[in-house]
Amino acid sequence: MTTLYIANKNYSSWSLRAWLLMTELGLPFEEKLIPFGDPAAWNAFRAEGGSGKVPALQDGGLHLWDSLAITDHLAERHPEVWPSDPAARAWARSVCAEMHSGFPALRELCSMNIGLKVRLNSVPADLARDVERIAAIWLEGLSRFGGSFLAGDRFTAADAFFAPVVFRFETYGLDRSPAMTEYIQHMLAQPGMQAWASQALEEPWVDPGHEADCVQIGDVIEDFRRLKPE
C-alpha cells in the first residue's frame, strides 16, 4: 500500500503538488491528513521517521518526503510523470525546480488559502517580479509545446508544481493575460483540482497563523468556507 501524508488542503501548497500529481495520473494511494495545530497527530507522524514534514510518501518499505523527491521517485516507475518529448521534459524539470526553490515574495505575501478572496492593498515590487516570471514560464510552455497544459497536451509534474499558484491567482486576483486566464480556467476544471478545492472548503479547521499570513497585504472580501470550528 502506498500512503501519502498531507496537511490541510486549504493551506498546504506543498501537499497539493504530490496529491494532485498522483490523482490526475491515476496512481493509487491512501491519503492521511494531519491537520495543522494538532500536536498529538504531528508527534505521532514525526515518530514514524523522516523529516516530520509533509508531503511524505510511504511506498512499501520506502519513506520519502519533499514534493520534488516524491516526484522523482514516482517518475522512476511511472514515466508519464514527465513529458515524453525530451525538450519538453527538460523544460518541465527546470521549471519545477525553479518553482520548488524560488518565488519567495509570492510564498511570503500570498500564501495559499482556497477559502478566501482577498483584495490586495498594493503589489510590492518583489511580488510583481515573481508574478511576471510566472507569466513568462506559463506563456513559454503554452506557446512552445502547443498544448493546453504547460508542457504539452497532457497533465504532467509541471502542472502539479504550479497548481498552488493557480489557486493563489484566484485568491488574490493577481494580474494575468488572456492566455494565462485560459490556463487557470483549464486547470480549475480538472477533476483533481475540483476535488481538492471542494474538500478544502469543507475542512473544519481554521489555523490562525495561516489566516494571518494570507491577509497581511490585503482585505478579505469573501469567505467561501461552509464549515467553521465550534
Tell me, yes or no, whether 122 lies in a domain.
yes
Query: Cell for 135?
Result: 507569466
Q: Of 17, 15, 51, 13, give the one whose Cα is nearest residue 33.
A: 15
pLDDT confidence of residue 230: 47
> Which range marks the domain in which residue 150 is found?
82-196
Helix (H) or strand (E) holding 119: strand 116-120
- Are residues 154 and 136 both part of a single domain? yes
Domain count, the chain: 2
Determine the pLDDT at residue 51. 82
pLDDT at position 54:
95
Which residue has 512552445 as its cell numbers? 144
Which of 63, 80, 97 is a domain's end point? 80
Is residue 117 in a domain? yes
Same-domain status, 21 and 110: no
The CATH code of the domain that includes 86 is: 1.20.1050.10
Q: Are residues 89 and 181 in the same domain?
A: yes
Residue 224 contacts by C-beta under 8 Å, 6 or more apart in sequence? 114, 115, 116, 117, 201
The answer to whether 14 and 67 have CB atoms below 8 angstroms apart is yes
Q: Which residues contact 134 (CB under 8 A, 6 or more apart)?
A: 103, 106, 162, 165
Per-residue confidence of the chain (230 residues) as pLDDT tens digits? 899 999 999 999 999 999 999 999 999 999 999 999 888 888 888 877 678 889 999 999 999 999 999 999 999 999 999 999 999 999 999 999 999 999 999 999 999 999 999 999 999 999 999 999 999 999 999 999 999 999 999 999 999 999 999 999 999 999 999 999 999 999 999 999 999 999 999 999 999 999 999 999 999 999 999 765 54
Plot region of 122 (φ>0 → left; ψ -120 to 50 → alpha; else → beta): beta
Residue 114 shares a structural domain with residue 168: yes
- Predicted confidence at residue 228, as pLDDT, reads 53
Q: State whether 118 and 22 are in the same domain.
A: no
- The set of cell numbers assigned to 199 is 474538500
The CATH number given to whatever domain includes residue 40 is: 3.40.30.10
The last residue of one of the domains, among 80, 105, 129, is 80
Question: Where is 219: in which H helix or E strand?
Answer: strand 218-223
37 part of a folded domain? yes
Q: Are residues 131 and 73 in the same domain?
A: no
